Amino acid sequence: MQRPREADIKTNSLYLTRRRLLIMALAIVFLFCVLIGRLFYIQVIDGSALQTKAAEQWYRDLPLKAARGYIYDTKGTVLAESEDVYSIYVRPNAVTDAVAVARVLADTLGLSYDKIYTRITTERVSEITIKKAVDKATGESIKKLGLDGVYFTIDSKRSYPEGNLLAQVIGFTNIDNEGQSGIEGYYNQYLTGVDGFAYTETDIKGVELEDSVTKYVPSIPGCNVTLSIDANIQSFAETAVIDAKQEWQSKSASMIVMDCTTGGIVAAAISPSYDLNDIPRDDITLLNALTKNTLIVDVYEPGSTFKTFTAATALENGLDLGKSYYCKGYHIVDGQRIKCWKYIGHGSQNLADGFKNSCNVVFMNLALSLGTEKLYDGLEAFGFGQKTDVDFYGESSGILMKEENVKTVDLARIGFGQAIAVTPLQMVSAFSAVVNGGILYEPYFVQSIDSYEGKNVYTHQKTEVRRVISEKTSALLREYLGLVVSEGSGKKAQVEGYFVGGKTGVFGLTCVIIAMKKRGIMA
C-alpha cells in the first residue's frame, strides 16, 4: 500500500481546521442571534408586561374611586348624588407604632383593637383595608394625626336627598357603589365612572421611600341620568298612596302616572316604602318586599277597568252603537250563572250606559259577540300578555290564557276583566293609547344621559309601538270615560277646571285610572 504523501496530510489537516472554525463561527453567530431575539422579545414584545411587573414592585397604589353620576328628575331636582367619604388602609411595613395605630383606628372607627393589632403585626401582605365609606369628618380627624403606615383614599358614597321618594324606581347600590336594583342597576354602566389611582414609590419590602413622590391618575366621574319623573307630581302621588293605604287598611297601595303622548313615566308611587339612605340590608325578606317595584313586576286581575279594552276592540270591529243588552243581574254562559255587580240588574243598557254603570252583562255580551280570535287580536294589540320593554329589570308579561284553551265561559269573564292578569304598567300604557288618539307608546323612565362634562350621550326618542285603535274610536271612548266621572261611579274623581275621564273597578282593590284634559291638551 502506498503511504500518503506529507503534502496531502497537511492539506487535509488545514481543511479540517477551517471546517471546525466555520462550525464554531456559525455556532457563535447562532447564539448571538438567539440572544438578540430574546432581547428583542423582552424589550419589545414583552416589554410592557415586564414594565408593569416592575412597577408593581417599585410602587404601591391606592384606588381613587370615581364619583357615581347623579340622577335627576325631569326638571333638574337631584334624586341621587355622590358625597365624598374615606377608605382607610394600613401598610404593615410602614407602621412604626402598631399599638398606637390599632388604638386610634379602633377607638375612632368603632372596631376591635385586638383584630386590628393582630392584622397589622401578623398578616404578610403589603396592604390591609381597615374600613370603607368612612364619613369625611372622621377620616380627616384620623388623617391629621399623621400615623405612619396609615393611608387614605377619597371614595364616594351614594346619597338620596329626597329620602324615600321614588325608592322602588331609583333602587340602590352596594358598599362598592355598584347599582343593585332599579335605575341604579339598569343604568349602572353609565352611572359608574372610571377609577383612578395614587402611586407611591417604595422599596422591595413595600416601605415608602423618603424622597418618593406620589403620582396621581385622576378618576373620571360617571354620567348623569335625567328621568321622565316629575318630583313634584311624584310627591303628590306618594301622599295619595299613603293616605289610601291608611284609609282602606290595605296591605299596599300604588299609583303610576304616564304622559300619554310619549310613554314617559311621570310618577310611580308605592306604599309601603323605605328610606334610600337607610336600606334594611340586614333583613333580606324585608329588603325584597320593600324594594320590589310592584307596578312592573307584580300582576293582578284588573276587573272592571278592563272593560275599556273590550269596548275598544268591539268598536274597532264595527259594533252597532245603538244595540242594547238586557241586564237582569246575571248572565248564563255554558250553564254557569255569572253575576253582575248589581244583583237586581241594570235593565236595558247600550254601550254608553254599560260604561257609565259598569254593567258586567254588557261586556260579557260584547266579548261573546266578538269571539276569542277578534278579542285576543285587540287585547294583544294593546300589549296585554307581553312585556312593554320598559327600561327596568324584572318586568312581568302578565297572564293571558292561551287562545286555544279559552272556553266560552272564560271569554265572557275576560270581557269584564276576570280570568286575566295584568301589570299596572300595562294598564296605564294601554289606557294612554285609548285616550291619546289610538297610539301605543313604549314606556320609559330615562329621558337623557349626559357625561360629567355635559356632553349628551343618549336622549330618548318616543317609540311608537303600533296604532291600536282609530282616532274616531279614541274620541268616543274619551266621551264614555268622561260619563263615568260626570254621571257614573267615578264622581269623586272630578276636578274643577279639568275634563276628567276614568274607569272604576273593585276586585280585591279599588283602581281608578284617570285621563285629564285642560284647554284641549291631553296629559
For the chain, the maximum distance between any two Cα atoms, rounded to a whole number of angstroms, is: 144
The residues, ordered by sequence, that sit 6+ positions from 459 with a Cβ below 8 Å of its Cβ are: 447, 448, 449
- Which residue of the set 87, 156, 304, 474 is catalytic? 304
Among the listed residues 32, 60, 53, 48, the one whose alpha carbon sits nearest the alpha carbon of residue 125: 60
CA atoms within 13 A on the CB side of 87: 18
Q: Kindly provide the residue ranges of all beta strands, DSSP E only, lying in 328-478, ordered along the sequence.
A: 330-333, 336-339, 347-349, 439-441, 446-450, 456-459, 464-467
DSSP states along 412-426: HHHHTT-S-BB-HHH
The residues, ordered by sequence, that sit 6+ positions from 476 with a Cβ below 8 Å of its Cβ are: 315
228 catalytic residue (yes or no):
no
| Separation of alpha carbons 176 and 170, rounded Å | 17
Task: Give, in degrees to the nearest 5, the angle at Cα 353 between 314 and 482.
Answer: 85
| Separation of alpha carbons 219 and 217, rounded Å | 7
Strand partners, 153: 87
For the purposes of burial, counting CB atoms within 10 Å of the CB of 322, is it exposed (0-12), middle (13-18) or buried (19 or more)? exposed
CA atoms within 13 A on the CB side of 181: 19
Q: Contacts for 448-452 with beta carbons within 8 Å, 24 or more apart?
A: 448/225, 448/226, 449/187, 449/190, 449/223, 449/224, 449/225, 449/226, 450/223, 450/224, 450/226, 451/223, 451/224, 452/67, 452/69, 452/193, 452/220, 452/221, 452/222, 452/223, 452/224
What amino acid is encoded at 118 in this protein?
A: T
Strand partners, 200: 60
The residues, ordered by sequence, that sit 6+ positions from 276 with a Cβ below 8 Å of its Cβ are: 80, 160, 163, 164, 167, 170, 172
Among the listed residues 256, 259, 255, the one whose alpha carbon sits nearest the alpha carbon of residue 244: 255
Cell numbers for 521, please give them: 291638551
| Separation of alpha carbons 361 and 367, rounded Å | 10
| Separation of alpha carbons 318 and 303, rounded Å | 24
| Separation of alpha carbons 35 and 116, rounded Å | 50
Cis preceding-peptide flag for 218 (omega within 30 of 0): no
Element (H, E) at 63: strand 59-64
Neighbouring CB atoms inside 10 A of 244's CB total 17
Catalytic sites, residue numbers? 304
